[in-house]
Every structure is written in structure tokens, then in C-alpha cells.
Amino acid sequence: MTIDRLDAPPTTREATATARVVGKTVVADCVVELRLVAADDEHPLGPWSPGAHIDLGLPNGLVRQYSLLPAEPGTWWVAVLREVAGRGGSAFCHDALHVGEAVRVTGPRNHFVLDAGDRYLFVAGGIGIAPLIGMIDAAEAAGAEWELVYAGRTAGSMAFATDLARRNPDRVRLHVDAEHGLLDVPGLLRAIPADTQIYACGPTGLLDVLTAHAQPGSLRVERFSPMAVDDTDDLSFEVELTRSGVVVDVPVGVSVLDAVGRAGVQTLSSCGEGTCGTCETPVLAGEVDHRDAILTDGTPSPPTRPSTPTPAGPVRLRGGAALRERGATELSHPSRDTEIGGIPIREGQKVMLLVGSANRDRERWGPTVDTFDIDRQSGSGHLTFGRGIHQCIGRPIARMEAESLLGALARKVSVIELVGEPVQMLNNTLRGFRSIPLRLKAV
């Protein structure tokens, strides 16, 4: 493994707030539901998208990640499974965390985004139902076809199963292992239409079987535990951090995250196992052997680039609808082998898509606005550079304005605290901040 340049993340922390536990309910065997509201009533907990999770900072100093459940605005709900062989976080939530106590929450963040589609199969194993409930609600609201297959060891261990089956008896299939044996995953996948998008969360065994039998590109998974990695052929390597200029030696048996931390470079991280996505960092050059459960859809080896990519015509990037709704930078997947800006891209390989780009002019491009065509000229009314990859000049100007404003504030006050989610402004020509909620303390 070689990484020539690593764009280490800035030391600015994600949005963190103090929340208060206002409800705690047992919803299944060894599962409690926690209901959280902001401790500061003037700044309620913000919105989130289906599949998102938060870091929950407990009073005993432990930090754990939990998926968000549908709840009324300003309230975050999470479900916590007691892990008998865990490290103490879930046990504290069950035994020592009480209504009225304060906790720290960070996020939300989402590496399990629901892409736009016409047909879905949701597969849950045990507490893996948690991130899928919001997706089910979104699919139902969009008028898409969907089915849920929810498996659990016993009926009593399956949180929210009764309510899901009651509301959607024709779309929810409950499978109890103790009564019917393990779920027949190959048979399940053979029975679904080819264009079905599959979203799954649950124990490693279930996800591994799904990965082995699903059609390429059809499956998205979220894992709660790290993936097994074959490290018999590991070698040491170096990582260059571009912002600090530090070159870090990464010995055999040590992760990049741990090696960078030992070198004194502050990084964002939480689980330390490659499951929560907090430490995700852009790689500017070099070959990466991903060993996480996020960036490679469950496959630890990096995708191979084609040697002669010469496609003709437009390439569809999936996930555009979710991107447009949030106005965010996300990962998308080309529908076939292509070349973007001289870089070969393999079918299904993840590509960073900037929605604030000059090609997204709906008045000019009409129904093809979400088709990425590497030869399409820039739209009218935009100031852009080059062909293929277009970068709107408005984004760096907006960034400069924000940095100038914050710099002027920093010279006048001693403390600047982000107390809520910044609100972005996004249309076909503009992208910037409509508001940034700050709390200031004068010198």
C-alpha cells in the first residue's frame, strides 16, 4: 500500500451540542430507545437524512455511534442494543443513563445515503433495522415500490417489528431464526427484479452472504463491526500530509489513523474501527488499500482502473436526487467505465460529485441536467474553466467572503462557538451560506 499525499482534515470539529435525555423506553429484549432534545431550547437539534447516525458522548466519557430513528422535528431518537461482549457503552445506556441527564451529540453524518430509485429491498438483521426505518418512510413518501425483510434471533428481540408489520402488512416480512432457521438470502435475491436497489444493515454474517450473492452495484450496506482483513502480506509505507508537510511512517500492524495521531497531527476520529466514517480523509495521490466498512461497499481491495477507457456519450451518476435535496458533496457511482478529466473511472467506482457545478443549469440542459457528459460545454450565465470538469467561480468567492468575515470576528472576540447547523444557499448559479449560527464572547 502506498499513499503519496494525504489531505489531512482540518482540526475544526464537527457540530457538537449538549442534549438532554427526555425519554427512555424498552422496545425489545435488550434494546432501549432514547429520546433526545437540545439542552438549549433556542437551538433545537437539526434535521437529518435517512441512514444518518450521530456520535453519542456519554457522561462516563465513552462515545458511541447510533443510527437516527424518525421523530418529530427538534428531537433525535436512537435505539441501543445491549452488547454483552461490548466495551461498556451500551451497558451504560441501559443501566446508568437516566431521563434528565445531559449527553454530548455530534453530527449527524451520513455514509448510508438512500439514492433515488423506483424499487427497493430493505434487509435488516436485529438492531440493523434502525437506519432502515427512515429509508422506508422516505421510499413510501416518494411513491416507490419497497419491501422489508426483517430477521431476528427471536420475536422478542426484534425492535419495532410489530408496528412495521401492522402499518405495512403486505410489504413487511418478519423472519424469526429460532422458528424458521437462517434466512435464505440467495433465494430472496433470486426473487427480486433486476433493477431493485438493496439496502441492508445487520450482523456481519448476514451482510457477507448478501454481498456474495447480490448483483454488482445493487447493494448498499452499513456495518456495525469492523471487517476481517488479511494482513499476511502487509508492508510498511509512508504518508505525506499536505497541510502540515509531515511525512509519517506507517509500520506493519498500525493504521494510518493511529500513525498520524502518534505523529502529533490532530485528526477527527471516533470508533477507530472503520465503521463510523468520522476519519474519512481525501487522498490526493497514491494507491489505497481501504480497510473500512464504508468507502468500498464491503470490499477491502481498491477497484482496478481500466487501461483504455474510451466510452462515448453521457454517463449517468446515481444519487443525484439525494444530492440536490441536501446541496452537499457526496459519493456517486458511474453506470459504466468512463473517463473524467483524463482519469479512468471504473463502473461502480465511487466518484466525488460537486452539485454546485457549472453543468447544472436546468434551463439550458432540461431533462439531461443530471447526466454527466464529459464533453458537454459549460452552460450560459456561468464563469467556468475548461471542459469536462467545470468549477463554478462563485464557490471560492463565497469561501473567501466567509473566511474574511470569520477572520474579522476573531480579531474582535475571544470565543467563537458554532451553535447550530449552517444553512446553505444553493441554486443553479449560487452556492454559499445563508446563515451561520454563532455564539460570540467579547474580549
Residue 92 lies in a domain: yes
Give the residue from 206, 211, 49 showing the smallest Cα distance to 116.
49
Residue 102 lies in a domain: yes
Return averaged pLDDT per consecutive 10 residues of the chain, 443 residues in all.
Answer: 39 72 97 95 87 93 93 95 89 96 92 92 97 95 96 97 96 96 96 96 94 93 72 75 78 81 71 64 73 53 32 38 38 62 64 48 58 52 39 58 74 78 57 71 64
Are 369 and 410 contained in the same domain? no
Are 315 and 405 contained in the same domain? no
> CA distances (Å), 107 to each of 111, 118, 276, in order?
12, 29, 11
Domain that holds residue 409: 394-442
Residue 33 lies in a domain: yes
Q: Residue 35: which CATH number?
A: 2.40.30.10
Report the pLDDT value the prediction gives residue 96, as an integer from 0 to 100: 96
Report the pLDDT value the prediction gives residue 14, as an integer from 0 to 100: 59
- Give me the sign of the Cα torsion angle 156, 175, 66, 88: positive
Are 51 and 123 contained in the same domain? no
Report the pLDDT value the prediction gives residue 234, as an integer from 0 to 100: 73
Report the pLDDT value the prediction gives residue 25, as an integer from 0 to 100: 97
What's the predicted TM-score (pTM) here? 0.59
Are 133 and 64 contained in the same domain? no
Are 144 and 160 contained in the same domain? yes
Residue 87 lies in a domain: yes
Q: CA 6 to CA 43: how far, in whole Å?
A: 35
Pseudo-torsion of CA 358, 361, 365, 366, nearest 10°?
150
Are 380 and 417 contained in the same domain? no
What single-letter amino acid sits at 295? L
Report the pLDDT value the prediction gives residue 189, as an integer from 0 to 100: 97
Domain final position from 223, 257, 274: 223
Q: Residue 183: which CATH number?
A: 3.40.50.80
Give the position of cell 478529466: 341
Give the residue from 81, 99, 95 showing the smallest Cα distance to 20.
99
Residue 354 lies in a domain: yes
Are 85 and 177 contained in the same domain? no
Are 411 and 436 contained in the same domain? yes
Radius of gyration of the chain (CA): 23
Residue 52 lies in a domain: yes
Residue 199 lies in a domain: yes
Are 378 and 404 contained in the same domain? no
Nine-digit cell string for 74: 427538534
Domain final position from 109, 135, 164: 109
Q: Read out DSSP for 101-137? A: -EEEEEEEE-SS-----SEEEEEEEGGGGHHHHHHHH
Report the pLDDT value the prediction gives residue 362, as an integer from 0 to 100: 56
Are 409 and 381 contained in the same domain? no
Are 381 and 399 contained in the same domain? no
- Total tally of structural domains belonging to the chain: 4
- What single DSSP character describes residue 328? -
Are 315 and 334 a contacting pair, CB within 8 Å?
Answer: yes
Domain final position from 80, 109, 138: 109
Are 105 and 22 contained in the same domain? yes
178 three-class SS = helix
Residue 237 lies in a domain: no
